Structure 1
Amino acid sequence: MSHRIVVVTAGLTVPSSTRLLADQLAESVTTQVSARGEEVSVEVIELRELAGELATFMTSGGVPTPTLTRVREQVSGADGLIAVTPVFSASYSGLFKMFFDALDPTSLSGMPVLLGATAGTARHSLVLEHAMRPLFAYLRAVVAPTAVFAATEDFGSSGLAERIARAAAELATSVLAQGDYALEGFGPDLAARPRRTSGTQVDSDVTPFADLLKGHSG
């Protein structure tokens, strides 16, 4: 079975540390998936190339251009997503946010996602937790427990390589589980549960909510 990973990178320069981290994450995920006997393909979306398309979308009442429509479908049809942004003003870049604002709100629901960010200093490392993770939780994505931050000094270090390998293994596990498991319910304790193979059934033992409220005046 072949799996498709889409990489979204918001780096603004060529070359960029953001694209470098994205490539390293994608390579590690590919290695992890291949080691488990599965095929995987990787597609990269450079957001700087879509800046004009995104500006048009935002200023035209949310009407996507043909190019943006194609990219939206590319993302929504993926088996997993790697999203990497540079840090600006202690958060993800405006270009990064514009792109995910331009997606259909349900595009990432239940999709395994690996987060990454880059900056010149380690002082910005909390951007992964206070900005990026809440965004993807809102989009109902299944975010890998390990997110990867890389300051300029981190590149080439064994510590970064270890974090990349751990995060890649988590994403690979989630992607490969998609064939056997589906996500049901929402909340912080969201977990993979066996996919239902028949129509939805109502548990006859469930007490109606109105009955639960009887006797309560508060």
Structure 2
Amino acid sequence: MARPRTALLDVDRIVEEALRISDATGDFTVTQLAAKLGVHPSSLYHHVAGRDEVVDLMRARIARAIDNSAFGQVPWDEALRKLAWSYRAAFARHAGSIRLFATALIRDKESLAEYDRIADGLHSAGFPWPEILPIIVAFDSFVLGSALDLASGGNINAPDPQLHPALSAAVEASESGAHPADAAFEAGLTALLTGFRHRLGSP
């Protein structure tokens, strides 16, 4: 039998299918991935070293959609604000995979380069080295949680005004303004940046 003219399997297909599975279920196994691709698990190892490399490639694909170009171009807090919105949008498209990424080591060069640029921007702004990693982790935690909130569409809806009058008033007021997830993200991001400025001693 003649061989097919095009490869049945490549890295892009593997990463795409792994993202599809983890977006739907929160994780994946090599066996699951191979089954979805219609190949034997051993076939995957011709293209990737194993599951850990697939996770690295998945994270790298998402990282390439994040715009961190503002660092070095605008003040650090403006750069973080711009990054936050882009970061949230990229991960909200893969919200089902967030738990997987949050519990896996960060090793792909795209993500590490992004964090390096943030660390350099914060240090250049005057933050001492011991404060930079806690700031990055706090920023990450907030943005990823907000990406889940955006993807869920919000989890508070139409409470009984007789039982929860204050919450009902808040929900009703939010419905007449910005999207609740966007409004919450902006409020939290502003608070976070205000706190970071305070740590730096900026006004």
Greater fraction of residues in helix: 2
Give the structure with the higher percent strand: 1
Q: State whether TM-score is above 0.5.
A: no
